[in-house]
Amino acid sequence: MPASSHNGIRHRPRPTPLHAAGLLTPTAAMFSKVALERDAALRARRLRHAIRDAYEQRRRPTRERMRALTVGPGGRFSWRDVPAPPPPGPDGATVHPIAVATCDLDRLMALGATPFLLPLHFGHECVAEVRAVGEGVKTVRPGDRVVVPFQISCGECRMCRASLTGNCETVPPISMYGFGVGGGHWGGVASDQLGVPFADAMLVPLPDGIEPAAAASVADNVCDGYRHVAPYAHELLARDPDAEMLIVAGIRRPVLSASITLYAGLVAQALGIRAVHLVDGRRHVREHAERLGLEAHRPKELRRLPLFPLVMDASGSPAGLAAALSHTAPDGICSSAGSIHRTARIPAGMMFGRNVTCRIARSHARAVIPEVLGLMQEGKLSPELVTSDLASMDEAPEAIKRHVLGDATKTVLVA
């Protein structure tokens, strides 16, 4: 695991006025509509309570203080001194993050190029140590090491019982750590402490023998890679044991980091898909993919590739989705991680003629975390092979800024 893969400044943050203007676009309005289409009053109430709590803690502090990594417009990272989470409720827990990983979307978000308002408390992927639990918590106790899913879920509602934990009905839509007001103001995991509202439902014990740094991204990106492959691999291989897979990682000057695509390639190998092709315009991503045993291609080489029964799109762009769909074989599956674009054109007639199925969706991370950890326990999956940069938590502002401005694939901070 290299200490650093930083190769200079590749990306530049949007100036504050441009970031602010981006919050008024039709794309931002679309995301706001989704976030507010259910429980808008609850989301507003949470925001009011957060503002009031912050004011009261400044005026008359009653809780201990902690540091939290904050990113502001212009890609400025710094530790801020903020109140620690309140004591956990009956079903909650307080945890101490000991390994924090970047997400592929973090670069865009920190550059001010997403609909998520800056500043915000950063980070949503971590392994943590439990510090305190409520009296009703049964599955974890202080001292346990746990994976903390990035999405908030209660475990009891209709959606959670159906393993659709990314759409928990107890909390407002798109409730997540590390996305500020847009994610529901739950805090960021790059901090000394983190409040978990539903400890039994959310926290997954880290199995013995797995290092926290190796599992830090299981909270989101590793599971995201897994869900594009695992639901289809068994049927695919039963139909054709020599079936191959295509991953469209980046087409036109990609800004998103590429870890999800590399994790998906590792998962495909673990589940028996022998040949996995990855397309990306960045040389360092292609070289990384080849080190993992994947077959890497430039975007211009796509036209020479055949059609594939299973295609993954994690390009984050309409052009990438179109390329993925055009290379999906008859009766094949195209699984897309989606994007923050408002619309995308799809070749509907071709898809109808080939009988192609396309799924564009967010992940339900909590539902598959045990399966991913199981593969790691069996020695079939090694997410640490994707990590490009490793730094201490104390170095977080500098390390994450290097990640955002440079070309790192996955940065992990360890306590």
**Confidence check: pLDDT of 118 > 50:** yes
Backbone angles phi, psi at 245, to 5 degrees: -130, 150
pLDDT tens digits for range 149-202: 999 999 999 999 999 999 999 999 999 999 999 999 899 999 999 999 999 999
Residue-level pLDDT at 58: 82
**Bridge-based pairing state of the strands 411-414 and 125-133:** unpaired
pTM of the entire predicted model: 0.95
Total tally of structural domains belonging to the chain: 2
CATH number, domain containing residue 118: 3.90.180.10
Residue 1 has pLDDT above 70, yes or no: no
DSSP class of residue 87 equals P
Please give the Cα distance from 23 to 185 (Å, whole number): 17
Asked whether residue 4 is assigned to any structural domain, the reply reads no
In a domain, 193, yes or no: yes
CA–CA distance, 135 with 232 (Å, rounded to integer): 41
| Tens digits of residue pLDDT in 66-95 | 999 999 999 999 999 999 999 999 999 999
CB 264 within 8 A of CB 314: yes
Asked whether 115 and 31 are in contact (CB, 8 A), the reply is: yes
**Per-residue confidence band for 3, with pLDDT thresholds at 50, 70 and 90:** very low
DSSP states of 339-356 as a string? -S-S-----HHHHHHHT-
At residue 122, does pLDDT exceed 50?
yes
pLDDT tier at 99, thresholds 50, 70, 90: very high
In a shared domain, residues 177 and 152: yes
State whether 81 and 169 are in the same domain.
Answer: yes
Last residue of a domain, one of 360, 378, 399: 360
- 7 has pLDDT over 70: no
CB atoms within 10 A of CB 60: 7
Q: Domain range spanning residue 272?
A: 224-360
The answer to whether residue 252 is domain-embedded is yes
CB 294 within 8 Å of CB 276: yes
Cα gap 262→285, rounded to integer Å? 9
Contact predicate 346/334, CB 8 Å: no
* Alpha-carbon gap, residue 165 to 369, rounded angstroms: 11
Q: DSSP class of residue 191?
A: B
Reduced to 3 states (helix: H, G, I; strand: E, B; else coil), residue 363 is coil
For the chain, percent of residues with pLDDT exceeding 70: 98
Q: Are 110 and 247 found together in one domain?
A: no
Domain identity same for 128 and 253: no
Q: Over the chain, what is the mean pLDDT?
A: 95
- Is the pLDDT at 6 greater than 60? The verdict is no
Would you say residue 2 has pLDDT above 50?
no
pLDDT tens-digit map of 310-363: 999 999 999 999 999 999 999 999 999 999 888 999 999 999 999 999 999 999
In a domain, 5, yes or no: no
